[in-house]
Amino acid sequence: MADETQYKYLGPRYGSSYRQYFVKGRKIRAEVLYDETLPPEPRTPEQVAEDYDVPVEAVYESIRYCQENEDVLDQDREMELASIRAHGWDKPPHAPPGYKPE
């Protein structure tokens, strides 16, 4: 679980409904940095660090965190999808006709 490991660059964001960690002092979820390194258009950790103005070590820490805490990320995605559905944002005019969430 996330709170068993000490992270230098990541931590919980107080007041956030997300359980996953954020870059400390920033509103950047670890998953955002991690996703930038994945296909279909993967970027190097160095490129991601430059684009988000964070230390490259924070990107590597985010990658490790996300790989080790997939259950937390899955729960956050489910929470977000439930909120989208509850607000009707998965239907036109908020979503294109025929939209099917993953």
pTM of the model: 0.83
The rounded distance, in Å, linking the Cα atoms of 29 and 92 is: 28
Using CA of residue 64, residue 55, residue 35, residue 38, what is the dihedral sign?
A: negative
pLDDT tens, residue by residue, 19-46: 999 999 999 999 999 999 999 999 999 9
How many other CB atoms are found less than 10 A from the CB of residue 9? 21
